[in-house]
Structure 1
């Protein structure tokens, strides 16, 4: 059945998803940490029933994510935003267990709406981080993310339940994370001792091959016991890495000094992080030493819109399918209608090889995204 599905489409693999979730389960058991899924990375709620037994809830970056987590995942619902309006706070306070403010001014403005309804926290910026690119570095110069250390005083923590640090992006080293953890303990420890919970954010890539999960678990357990707090991590990519492919079809091959295979998808519309971070995609059919090299080009009109350069053992042919691997995180949540391109459908491959459709899109979805009424 899979070979007959019209492209482009995402295929989420249940076995690969459960593999990651079993690692998450092991981390929880060894450390006592709670894990809440970062919806900013992955919000495909059609698979939440598979994820729910392993994780403790969801964390959000905007009001609609809060509502989605509350309605479709349940368990704990954490609400965070870089900037809440008063209406935002009112709309989600009845649905969230924890509300985390990005600044002291936001805390002062909205605390009265939350007290007695949800646990209250703030985001702290520790000034240190592990992030591969400046664009994704929460501790970058002039960062707006979280309260700076020099703005803190002991009295503040008498009226807080918890805090959140987010200081990692695809950190694949337990030692690097532990060094950040030690820095936080040394600099903020007396504050943390007053709290009930501490979230250490996301970006800890504990499902990456070879990651020292036991070492991470031990460090988390020691930190939790030292400061008497319940720890949280907010994994996104770690849960869904390598679980989904974006399947595309070669629709043309052109040459201008180099062969380009044009596929029926676009980074600008369907895999935006490839374009934003200039990180080439990986093609499942490619080989390291293949004789035939191609640019894998998008079908959008943006001149620099391409997935990658890849080598193959045989020449690519029109009508051939390619699998753009690891296409779940920060991908489906960023889909857009640029150029009026066909939106990829979303499918789920069960462990027994059955294929379940989660979503499909058509012209009416495109049209409705632009206007619902005309001017009269």
Structure 2
């Protein structure tokens, strides 16, 4: 049997350069040569830039970009450059002294460009877990909760089937905050409902149109307490109706934070949601997870934890556990999504184990809504199957 695998990105590749102004080209070449001793890789179009930046792979490419040279691809590149969570690696060059709203532009001077490129190479310090519930409440009131979307592909044809909506907190006063820092605070302070509604409202607004969500469904994470609430469908429907989001495009994921103590109540909740056309997945199924018994309930699918997936190439135990989970899920007519698929080796492992879908850096990092069309074009352009240019790798 042969499996089609996206190739790995190359490490230590020189920055890309998209520019046609001779002064910008000269400054960028001098900046990169002075830093790395190699010339930047010239590219001819914004679409070529999209192919390099958005078509999967865990290694980030840096891009020095003259906006006017990007053509029709500029909106997608701008969305990526503006995203404080995306780490796009895009350095935008200031043209004609005109600043660009929402982004820092760099003067076309070698020293300025070199400083910007070096600055992107420094990791920002991780934000500590937050403990002030009032701070989170204020952020919710100010509308600071945003959503990033990570595409999930069907292995059979490399096409997007789901977009996982991931909460981010874009604070106005300090650095952006990832979910590991504020979701536990929301749960411990009784703000899970408010946080989930904020995420759902943003996702339904941004993803209401089928082209915006690439024709895929959107998945949202729900903690157990919210999933069990009898009015969960009421407020979900209210938010969907507000933005014209179709209920048929919604999928929920049960998070792993709370153990299930009343399986009968969960079964009833799943049936209510299923009767309304809203499937539910079990998120982050790990090695010897005691939640495996939940697979007897009417879930639509499971997602394999990224740590379990990462262990597969070197751990016979992990491979056996994945095979067991996949077999059991398929017996119950559930789909299996492998999370954390960051390279060809992991793609091959989960495909050989029978997983249905893949999610991870080999497909895409989480993206702002405005960047999704650029990612989709880049992904489709690399292969007639709608994925990256495939390498055929024999699997035993």
- TM bin, normalised by shorter chain, reads 0.3 to 0.5
Identify the structure with the greater helix proportion.
2
Q: Which has the higher strand share?
A: 1
Q: Whose relative contact order is higher, 1 or 2, with alpha carbons under 8 Å and at least 6 apart?
A: 2
